[in-house]
Structure 1
Amino acid sequence: MKATIWHNPKCGTSRKTLAILKEMPGVEVTVIEYLKNPPTRAKLAQLYKDAGIAPQEGLRIRGTDARERGLPDADADTVLDAMAAEPILIERPLVETDKGVALCRPQDKVRELL
């Protein structure tokens, strides 16, 4: 099985999720450090759609100015535009496998995709 993780190595939850993926036999992991190689707006929209969540649910609040900018109450297009422009606004880790996509908070949520 293939798995892609949009990862921030400075994030403990992201590191723990990656560790779970790496310890699973038969899982081929692609790691994308999204702050260095951000997903496109279209890819973000697809990930959230496949995860069954609104972009606002994938918005990182802690450590960002999202709240001050009114992003938690903004429409999906505004949130996606902001995330595409400033990937720090993307909550992590997002994981995509053949079984679907999930925002893996807590990290054990990744097991549902394996």
Structure 2
Amino acid sequence: MKATIWHNPKCGTSRNTLAILQARDGVEVEIIEYLKNPPSRDKLAQLFADAGMTPAEGLRLRGTDAAESGLPDADADTVLAAMAAEPALIERPLVETAKGVRLCRPKEKVEEIL
């Protein structure tokens, strides 16, 4: 099974989720450091749709100016555009497999798609 993780190596939850993926037999992990290689607006829309969440639910509030910018109350297109322009606004880690997508907070959420 292939698993793609949108990863921030400075984030403990992201590192712990990656460790779960790497410890699982039969899982081929693709690591995308999303701060260096951000997903497109369309890819973000697809990830959130496949995770069953709104873009606002995938918005990182801690350590960003998202709240001050009014993004939690903005429409989906505005949030997606902001995330595409500033990937630090994307909550992490997102993991995608053939079974779906999860925002892995807590890290154990990854088990749902393995």
TM tier relative to shorter chain = over 0.9
Write the distance in 1 (CA, Å) between the matches of 2:87 and 2:15. Answer: 18
Give the SS at the match of 1:92: coil
Match runs of 1:1-114 below 5 Å: 1-114=1-114
**In 2, distance between residues paired with 1:10 and 1:76?**
27
Normalization by structure 2: what TM-score? 1.00
CA-CA distance at 1:11 after TM superposition: 0.3
- Structure 1 runs of 4+ aligned residues shifted over 4 Å read none
Deviation by residue 1:77-97 (Cα, 9 ceiling, x = unmatched) = 000000000000000000000
Which blocks of at least 5 consecutive residues in structure 1 are unaligned? none
CA deviation string 1:44-101 (max 9, x = no partner): 0000000000000000000000000000000000000000000000000000000000
Tell me the CA shift for residue 17 of structure 1: 0.2
Tell me how far apart the structure 2 counterparts of residues 48 and 112 of structure 1 sit (CA, whole Å). Answer: 16
What is the CA deviation profile of residues 8-65 of structure 1, one whole-angstrom value per residue up to 9, with x for unaligned ones?
Answer: 0000000000000000000000000000000000000000000000000000000000
SS in 2 for 1:42: helix
Specify the code of the residue in structure 2 equivalent to 1:79: V
Identical positions, percent: 78
Aligned-partner SS, 2:19: helix
Aligned equivalents of 1:67, 1:47: Cα separation in 2: 22
Size of the alignment, in residue pairs? 114
Which secondary structure state, in structure 1, belongs to the residue aligned with residue 15 of structure 2? Answer: helix
